[in-house]
Chains A and B, each alone.
Chain A
Amino acid sequence: MIRDITIGQYYPAQSPIHKLDPRVKLFATLIYIIALFSYKGIAGVLFIVAALAAVIKISKVPFKFMVKGLKSIIILLLFTACFSVFFTQGEYTIWEYGILHISDTGLINAATMMIRLVLLIIGTSLMTLTTTPNQLTDGLEKSLGFLNKIHVPVHAIAMMMSIALRFIPILIEETDKIMKAQMARGADFEHGNIIKRAKSMVPLLVPLFVSAFRRADDLAMAMEARCYNGGEGRTKMKPLVYEKDDKIAYLFIFAFLAVVIVLRILLPVNLGNLIFR
């Protein structure tokens, strides 16, 4: 049920990747996503796969944790791939039946989309598996610090993230209690048609929202009693500091992007072009 939700997907281990500053990992993930949308041709894919494999190896996170994220996307992946294969016009039609046909472009598009999506999920889950949510929140606050200059309240955003993260398990427990209390009074959350299901949500949602508002009220009062008055002048218990490994990691990140761009320019050959020409 609701209780089964695990906060975060962090996999604890002692590895160089785990120890990196969260800002480095946020930046690396951003560059990785840019690379996935920038590469062209088979050489680019192979290089990205090799780089990803190397980082996974270094991180000591078991590969099966990486592929776990693929489960949620598999149906969408197959649906979209089928649409692409059967409904895309191309230069060479391999098979045809009414409005359905298989062409070279359809196959290439489907393969490209599937590869990119799989690499996207595996690669970006590295960040979430090797960094705790609180570290990432700190990293985000620092990384978005430049937005202060255009009046974006970065500290308030980070504070809201931290508060929300802290209250998720508390409110989950609250939701569970409310459900049990309402079931004890005869509510049925699991049967009936769509209208009945919708009605049964009301005795759950209303007390949940009311409870959240009361907690917000109490929390605000408690924070102000502790002399909280915004981000100005605050210090941090665990400040983020770059170390030598972080700087080395930045060099690797830029080198990675440079190679992807060079391969795009020099070797844009698609495997499909070789097969169908």
Chain B
Amino acid sequence: MNQTETIDYKHGTTYAITVTALMTAVTCILAPLSIPIGPVPISLTNLAIYISLYLLGWKRGTISYLIYLLIGLVGIPVFSGFTGGPAKLAGPTGGYIIGFIAMAIIAGLVIDHFHQPWLQLIGMIVGTIICYVLGTAWFCFEAKSTVSGALSICVFPFIPGDLIKMIIAMLIGPAIKKRLR
């Protein structure tokens, strides 16, 4: 197979399907894991999402996350803490899981259109803030909680870990991408 065919081949539909599926599988493996440092476990979910966005682009990266959501929906234990099922999505913290979709779209668009690392970092931060807003809104509704209560339980403890994950993704995303060419 010559170089031209290889290049054309990589843009085919079948390759798009398989590469998105494999990235979904990687997300399914990394997302349930967490690093037990301190009282708040640091989940690898959004790290996997960020790296998918770097490698696949915003469209396929977001689709990859949606497939992961569907897999969790049908009961495979791929959500944080090795849980799964519709209850996770319909439960009080489901808003954050859904909010990751918005995060993926926003961060993905910024990562695709800007090559400066610090701009990509800002894109990820903005996306994460949107995710916090959606998750907190749903938590308040579902758990009949106040905004400050929801933030205290679900947002503030996770901010340092999330920032570190963004920096890691910012550093190794381009490195992996370079290695794949």
Contacts and interface: CB of A to CB of B under 8 A. Distances in A.
Interface stretch (B28-36, B103-111, B115-123, B124-132): B28-36
Nearest to B90: A33
B75 A206 contact: no
Interface residues of B, number: 62
Contacts of B12: 220, 224
A83 B140 CA distance: 11
Contacts of A16: none
B152 to A, nearest CB: 8
Contacts of B3: none
Interface stretch (A50-58, A154-162, A242-250, A251-259): A154-162
A131 B29 CA distance: 22
A124 interface: yes
Nearest to B44: A201
Given A125-B85, A208-B26, A210-B176, A194 B145 contact: no
B172 A84 contact: no
B51 interface: yes
A113 B68 CA distance: 27
Nearest to A120: B87
B153 A219 contact: no
A220 B18 contact: yes
Interface in B7-36: 9-10, 12-15, 17-26, 28-30, 32-33, 35
A127 B14 CA distance: 31
Interface string B40-64: 0010000000010001000000010
B159 interface: no
Interface in A1-44: 2, 5-10, 29, 33, 36
A172 interface: yes
A17 B180 CA distance: 47
A143 B31 CA distance: 27
Contacts of B172: 202, 205-206
A168 interface: yes
A162 B179 CA distance: 27
B85 A167 contact: no
A80 interface: yes
B21 A163 contact: yes
Contacts of B18: 163, 216-217, 219-220, 223
**Which of B63, B70, B90, B180 has most chain A Cβ within 10 Å?**
B90
A159 B67 CA distance: 10
Nearest to A212: B22
A72 B93 CA distance: 12
Contacts of B35: 194, 197
6 contacts: A76-B93, A125-B87, A168-B29, A209-B51, A213-B22, A220-B15
A-B residue pairs, 7 tightest by C-beta: A128-B75, A163-B21, A136-B74, A164-B24, A216-B19, A220-B15, A167-B25
Given A7-B76, A164-B28, A175-B29, 13 more contacts: A2-B29, A5-B32, A72-B81, A88-B144, A120-B91, A123-B87, A131-B75, A163-B18, A164-B24, A165-B76, A206-B172, A209-B176, A213-B22
